[in-house]
Amino acid sequence: MKPSPSAKDQALWGGRFAAAPDQLVQDYTKSVQYDWRLWRADIFGSLAHARMLREIGVLTVSEFRAIERGLREIFAEIEAGVFQWDAAREDVHMNIEAALTAKTPAGAKLHTGRSRNDQVATDLRLWVKNSIAADGDAIRALQRALVALARKYQQVILPGYTHLQRAQPVYFAHHLLAYVEMLARDAGRLADCQRRADVLPLGAGALAGSTIPLRRERVAKLLGFAAVTPNSLDAVSDRDFIVEYAAASALLAVHLSRLAEDLVLWSSAEFNFIRIGDAFTTGSSLMPQKKNPDVAELARGKAGRVIGNLVALLTLVKGLPMSYNRDLQEDKERLFDTVDTVRATLTVLAAMLGDTRVNAAACARAVADPLLLATDVADWLVNQGVPFRRAHEVVGKAVAISEQRRVPLDKLPLTVWKKLHPACNASLKKIFNVSAALDRRQMTGAPGRQQVAAQLRRWEKILP
């Protein structure tokens, strides 16, 4: 026979059930092992709710003070690591409420006008808002690391690539600043998500509000929310802000993966453009000569994990009927894992970049390939009045001849160029100068010397 609920359990859960939940059910449904992380938000939300209940007369002054004192004591206990989480209490909310009720009988009044449905929605929104603020700090730290490395090696030129084939020369700084721009968009998406999370659901109750004259706008002001939810059904069932957060984080993780991929390639012997410090690489258990970019590889791999969390959340909510359903308990582990994974990746990449050196000599050798300036030759012909498609054909034929003769493109005799097109003259040879080629790129967004210097100054001003 299943044990009967204790008086304390009945006070928390109500008198509907004649037997306590089966142990299998308790083990299957408990969430305190991970949702304890919401404890700060839960206590702040309860303090604001209690103050509002006092203001509308549900709580007396002495009851409110007892609740406030009890919650602050619980806060201190959790912060000190001495609070005893009870799996039988199922979740963070019931644990804190049970502890409060043990401290003061007034704790039994705290849940007036609210449900765990609107309570957890409030906790999650508070938690996400704070998390996004911390993410912004981590993104800016990585941006600063990228800008600092770009500034340090501002004069280094390396090949830019398309299809992983050498294409045209760019400054190393210009390449890194591309990631700074990506991260800025990521920060903007997270800020947009934060604005949509900034709505208070507390007061929606289980799904239909309350007959008690709750002052929702007052609670919103106390908790720093910009507004209150206008629809009680949507308030308790909405997890768009978590899905949106996961989506923005997934794209951020993809950008970090792309950065990591470049670092992996550049640190290989085939490229040898950079050398990552020993503190951020590992050796081989078998091959003593190996120095592996494991940190970058893990950053690349963890993007799949974050993308998986997004897919799991979308799958979770796609078939739910209105309004709250217990399925939504599954949102938290995916949310927490996304936050932990992305934040850790941002932090370790920023530190690793600070311990990375550029092999300028290897970059110079790679960028000395005259084929990188083939497009510049075509542009030069256009400036001589040759239609671009014809210029493209001329340079393409010149490249084929240089390969056949095994002569670098810049060493091809002028007579060959003149046979390909009469517009070719001795000035064409001046095109094969990498620094001059980059100096010619002065339009906004181009990798020219002045433009790159201006963008570095811009980001150093934005990211002091």
Side-chain half-sphere CA neighbours of 268 within 13 A: 8
Residue 275's SS3 state is: strand
Active site residue 163: yes
The residue annotated as part of the active site, out of 4, 6, 62, 284, is: 284
Residue 166, phi then psi, degrees to nearest 5: -55, 135
Q: What is the DSSP string of 326-360?
A: GGGGGHHHHHHHHHHHHHHHHHHHHHHHTTEEE-H
Residue 79, phi then psi, degrees to nearest 5: -60, -35
The rounded distance, in Å, linking the Cα atoms of 116 and 111 is: 9
Q: CB neighbours (10 Å) of residue 151? A: 15
Active site residue 232: no
* Rounded (to 5) percent helix, strand, coil in the chain: 65, 5, 25
Q: Give the CA distances from residue 229 to residues 198, 207, 336, in Å, rounded to whole numbers and listed in that order.
A: 10, 12, 24
Give all strands (DSSP E) within 197-307, no chain letters. Answer: 199-200, 227-228, 274-276
Side-chain half-sphere CA neighbours of 187 within 13 A: 19
The rounded distance, in Å, linking the Cα atoms of 72 and 257 is: 42
Catalytic amino acids? 163, 284
